[in-house]
Structure formats: structure tokens, C-alpha cells
Amino acid sequence: MNQDFSRRNFIAAGTALMASPLLAAPGMAQTRSALTTRRLNNVMIAVSDLDKSAAFYQKLIGAPVMQGNTAIFRIGDGPHFFGVTQMPNGGTPGFLSYGLTVDNFDPAKTAKSVTAAGFKADVIMRDGTPELWTADPDNIKIQLQHTAYGHGSGPLGAVLPPQPLRGKPAFNLKTISHVTLTNSNGPRSLDFYTKMFGWEVQSKQGPTQWCFTVGEGLDCVVFNVGVNNPSAKAGINHACFTLPAFDANTVMNILSDNGLEPIEYGNNALIKPLTCRVRLRQRANNGGSPTHALGTPELYFNDPDNIAMQLQDIAYCGGSGAQGEICP
């Protein structure tokens, strides 16, 4: 869940942060958010070789359903999913978007709520299924859908094709834990997500790296509320999925058995496609605990296009403890 932040950025953003509705004193009036979100619904990436990447992820998380040039990997019992699509010619592999489900979803009414809050909303039809898109101030694309949406057919995208059964995957993924964003202006991002969704802080990793709860469960979106870097390469930094009984050493061994190379955390020069690493987040960044002095293990791997993913326990909330499960 980590991103770099600086003391200078934190101080520069101090005034704006103190004025934020999320930090308002008890009893102060807060602006009503445009929408109420429920869950992280999906994460989409574009890859250079769809067949190669689909085979890579199939070994780890199970067989996908192919929908044209997109492989849909169901997460847990669904309808949540991870989508892998072929990168257009001349494009760059990486994250495309993340999706959220919202209360009382109706394409026209939900879009109207977004535009009434002062933000852009586009409804695009995909084979008869309306899909609603918006973007944050860094142009990070966000999909907003019904709670039953699963990239299927029908008016809600809820009619799902049968899931193929082809072999046992290495991991039994359960949920999308979080997406971590690289944003360029913390107060601006905070203003957008507050007005749009009214999210509360679930956990903090250091003074400015905050995890905002999406709604149900422990799903969250992470960004730096203190950053001020106009030249930042904004986008989705990584996505995290959960599995039961997470053990960092066991997961690293499984990744190694599937062709990934374990590397030392903290040396960015070593990060390349098909590598994996573990960060032991210490107390300075709200890691570890009095009963877990080693720190909170956070495990990352990079796919064939060097796209970063994180794996954690189903109890992970971005906090301290052996599984990152201790949150305020």
C-alpha cells in the first residue's frame, strides 16, 4: 500500500488538510457526498501480449472468461473481477481503471449526481450494458456500476457466462483489498473524493498516506493527501487482492515455484518483470505492533509487463499487526 511522501509535501498541504471535511471538528456541518459506494468492483489492466498474460494469471488465480480481447478473472464468488485486455498498438502496458459499486445505481440518475457535484460523467454502452465512467483530478479512470455488475450482459452487467474449470490455481483469491494511487496534488484529490464519495479514513501509513474505506468490508482506496508534485506520473500504482491464511513465506515460495524471482525490498533497481518481494512495514508507518515487532509483511509481485500487484490476508485493512488487520 506504500508510496513515497516527503515532510515538505506534508507541511505544504497542512492548511488544506485541516480544512477538509474529513478532519472537521465534531458537530461541524459536512457537505453531502454525491454518491454512496459499496465495494471495489474491478481492476482493469492493459498488457502487451494477452495470451501470455492470461496464461500467467491463470496459473496464479484461475481460469478467465474470455470476452473478445479481454480476459475476466472472477475474484472470490464474484461479481467482482480482475480484467486483462490487449493493449492497443502503440500503447503502454499498465492499469486502465478501477471500479466501484454504488447504492441505487441508475445510469442516468447516477451520472446526473456526478455532474451535479461538478465532475464529468460518461455513459457508454457495451453490448447493451450501460457503463458509467468518471475520472479524478489526475484523470485516473473510475467505473461506477450496480452492486451486481460483473462485466456480464443485461442492463446491470450481471448476467455472467459460466466460469470455466481448468486446473487448480495457486491462490484462492477472495476480495479486492485496495488500489493505491499515485496522485499529484493531495488536497485536490482529497477534495474530489470527499465531494464525490464522502469516504472516511480507515487507516494511515505515515502522516499523509491514507487508506479511505469504500463502504462494506475492508475495501479501500489509498492516496497521498499531502503530495504536491505537478510532474508526478499519476495513475494506479498497484492493486491488492486478498487470500485466506496469508503467510508471506508460503506465498513467496509459491510465486517462486511459478517462475517469479524473489528480490530484496527497497532496491528499486532490482524490480523487473516476474519478480516478487516483501516489505516489513514498521511502526513509523503504522506497521508491526507490540506483539509483532518484525513489522507488518506486505507482499508485491510484478507481472510479465512489470505491472505491480499486492497480495495480503483477508483481514488486511492497511493497519498494524501480523496481517495488517489492526485499524482504528
Nearest to 53 by CA among 241, 314, 309, 271: 309
Query: Please, which pLDDT band fits residue 328 given cuts at 50, 70 and 90?
Result: confident
pLDDT score for 311: 98
Q: Give φ, ψ of 100 to 5 degrees.
A: -130, 145
Edge-to-edge strands, sheet with 209-213: 201-204, 209-213, 220-224, 175-182, 235-243, 308-313, 296-302, 275-281, 261-262
Per-residue pLDDT of 171-187, as tens digits, reads 999 999 999 999 999 99
CA 91 to chain centre: 22
Q: What share of the chain is helix, strand, coil (3-state, %, to 5)?
A: 20, 35, 45
Question: What domains can you pick out in the chain, each with its CATH number?
Answer: 171-313 (3.10.180.10)
CA pair distance 283, 137, nearest whole angstrom = 31
- Cell 532496491: give the residue: 267
Helix (H, G, I), strand (E, B) or coil at 163: coil
Q: How many other CB atoms are found less than 10 A from the CB of residue 8?
A: 10
pTM higher than the cut 0.85: yes
- Cell 450496480: give the residue: 146
Helix (H, G, I), strand (E, B) or coil at 283: helix
Provide the percentage of residues in the chain whose pLDDT is more than 90: 82
CA pair distance 36, 100, nearest whole angstrom = 10
CA pair distance 98, 123, nearest whole angstrom = 16
Sorted by sequence, the CB contacts under 8 Å of residue 222 that are 6+ apart come out as 1, 3, 178, 179, 180, 181, 209, 210, 211, 212, 318
Query: Please, which pLDDT band fits residue 7 given cuts at 50, 70 and 90?
Result: very low
* Average pLDDT of the residues of the chain: 91
Give the chain's length: 328
Per-residue pLDDT of 188-234, as tens digits, reads 999 999 999 999 999 999 999 999 999 999 999 999 999 999 999 99
